[in-house]
Structure 1
Amino acid sequence: MTDPVDRFAARPLVAHYDAPRAAGEPDLAARLREAFGAAGHDPERLTLDAIAGIDQLHLGGRRASRSLAARGELVPGDRVLDVGCGTGGASRLLAAAFGSEVTGLDITPAFVEVAQWLSRATGLDDRTHFLCADAARVPLPDASVEVVWCQHALMNMPDAAAVLAEWWRLLVPGGRVLLHEVVAGDEASPLLLPVPWARDAATSHLRSRHALEALLTAGGFVPVAVQDVTAAALEWRRKHSRREGEAAASGPALPGPGLIFGEVFAEMGRNLRDNLAADRVRIIEGVFRQSSPPSHS
């Protein structure tokens, strides 16, 4: 069977999202287990509230995921593919709050390992399953999901057209794409780096909203509802920058993104805030429906 991950192509992303491990620290699961224990929580019995700081690594956190799910009109029993699932937070939210059957997919092995553990620890492993695979080569059959869900992942994917072709293949006829994505803004000055999705330009593949929507159209998807949610995302990032500064001075606490990205996360958060404020990046939330076959097929 063909390996669903091109290990060479995945190396820059794995190096970015699991940098502390590459620097010789314990693996991500071990770091998180130790942190939960230090905060007085049994790592094998956790609540969704306890893991909130590490389970949704995108602007807006659980609130943004709930907004996207409502816009996409999810119904119980929908089969959902969560592309770029990270540690699996959106997958668990969709299973717990919306009755979805979710398969999470990520190219970073450490994220998939942690996602599986956190789903077991929160009692959601019967409705969430995780694959380590490239989004352009998903080891699932045709027409196997009603919904493709993607939050802050396409900007890490250099060949978005190939990824969208997979989405079209995997969706049932008339299926939906629910997208919450970082896009390039109108300000042409260079992006302040590092940011949460990239330490340098090699792993950042930002596209303008117009370019992304053109790719979706060429990929056989029509917009149902698309909204710019940058203002809300910026407010959320400003609030969390303040919280992260306070948490750094208050001693042991529940784990947050710093345990995943390392000490550089504080700088990443500030840069993201400033990029949003300067219109170097924007955030869109949208629903797209599968329509005609891709124009390049």
Structure 2
Amino acid sequence: MVQRGDDVRDHYASPDIIDRVLAAVAEAGHRTDQLAAEMLYPFDQLHGREIVATREHVARLRLTPGMHVLDVGSGIGGPARYIAQTYDVMVTGIDVTPEFVATANELTRRCGLDTKVSFLEADALALPFADNSFDAALCLYVGMNVVDKAHLCREIRRVLKPGGHLVWSEAALGPVGPVRFPVPWARFPSASFLVPPQVLQQTFTKAGFHIIEFVDETERFIAPASQSGEMPPAPGAQQVANQVVLGSDFIERRQNFVRNLMEGRLVSILIEAVKA
């Protein structure tokens, strides 16, 4: 889904993800032979603010039963399973990381949702779908790894039906720099492709989207720290999810992310748009 696909695969990929996730589910007190999507929510939401953000952002898609939704950068499938189960829709997820795709499909099968949800290994800059295929699309915290965001926007717009909704979240450059690394999506600056919010807004407009709402969500990440005056640890669910899936150094990367937000080096942007 990016121009530096090998770098992104190397950043996110690791062996035995499915085994680690199932072990974490069992440690949480659940039977893995009777898996349900909600048992995975503390472990399979790999974007900022986890299941809370998933619920808020998906609600903006205005889904009705029978729709077909595209999840761009679907990770191990958490948001897609939530969408299918909550809204009775079909979901197709794509991701560039083979290990994520294999894990997503297997977890979905074990949850009994594989008739509604499927995942493909694919490049988001060359989506393997016909024009006007999807009623709605979701792209959560993917754009930071994408060099050509304009191309990505155009591809998503191409496969959306007229009037189809897109919800997109992304970390963007703040007024203060530079960004402190490592961060969740990149250990080094060479793997991170950030732009200011106004550039992101212009990119969507030029790609043919009508922006319904352009929201700075930064405060939702840093409010607890602002109230206490201290740097908070990563939220528990996020620690578990990303240590299990993305490695033991995630805590440092997550803390750097929050620190960057607090210091104005980064902002977190949410875009709700429709295909014009």
Matched, 1:277 2:262: yes
Query: CA-to-partner distance for each residue in 1:145-177, whole Å, 9 max, x for gaps?
Result: 011211000111111122112112101112221
Q: 2:155 aligns with which of 151, 163, 166?
A: 166
Q: How does 1:143-182 map to 2 (within 5 A)?
A: 143-182=132-171
Match of 2:11 in 1: 16
| Range moving further from structure 2, 171-180 or 127-136 | 171-180
Query: CA-to-partner distance for each residue in 1:226-270, whole Å, 9 max, x for gaps?
Result: 22111112347976615379x8xxxxxxx5211222111110111
Match of 2:121 in 1: 132
Structure 2 counterpart of 1:113, one-letter code: A
Q: How does 1:1-297 map to 2 (within 5 A)?
A: 9-18=4-13, 21=14, 26-37=15-26, 40-188=29-177, 190-235=178-223, 241=234, 243=236, 256-291=241-276
Q: Distance in 2 between matches of 1:57 and 1:169?
A: 26
| Range moving further from structure 2, 79-88 or 170-179 | 170-179
SS in 1 for 2:56: helix
| Range moving further from structure 2, 255-264 or 169-178 | 255-264
Q: Distance in 2 between matches of 1:151 and 1:114?
A: 18
Q: Distance in 1 between matches of 2:241 and 2:273?
A: 32
Structure 1 counterpart of 2:255, one-letter code: R
| Range moving further from structure 2, 120-129 or 82-91 | 120-129
Please report how far the alpha carbon of residue 289 of structure 1 lies from its aligned counterpart in structure 2 after TM superposition: 1.3
Q: Which runs of 5+ in 1 are unaligned?
A: 248-254, 292-297
Match of 2:228 in 1: none
**Conservation of the 8 A alpha-carbon contact between 1:244 and 1:266:** no
**Conservation of the 8 A alpha-carbon contact between 1:44 and 1:120:** no
Q: Distance in 2 between matches of 1:89 and 1:147?
A: 17
Inter-CA distance 129–185: structure 2 relative to 1 (3 Å threshold) = same
Give the RMSD, CA atoms, in angstroms. Answer: 2.3
Q: How many residues align?
A: 271
Under a length normalisation based on structure 1, what TM-score does the superposition of the two structures give? 0.84
Q: Distance in 2 between matches of 1:71 and 1:197?
A: 25
SS in 2 for 1:225: strand
**Conservation of the 8 A alpha-carbon contact between 1:60 and 1:236:** no
**Conservation of the 8 A alpha-carbon contact between 2:135 and 2:164:** yes
Q: Which runs of 5+ in 2 are unaligned?
A: 226-230
Under a length normalisation based on structure 2, what TM-score does the superposition of the two structures give? 0.90
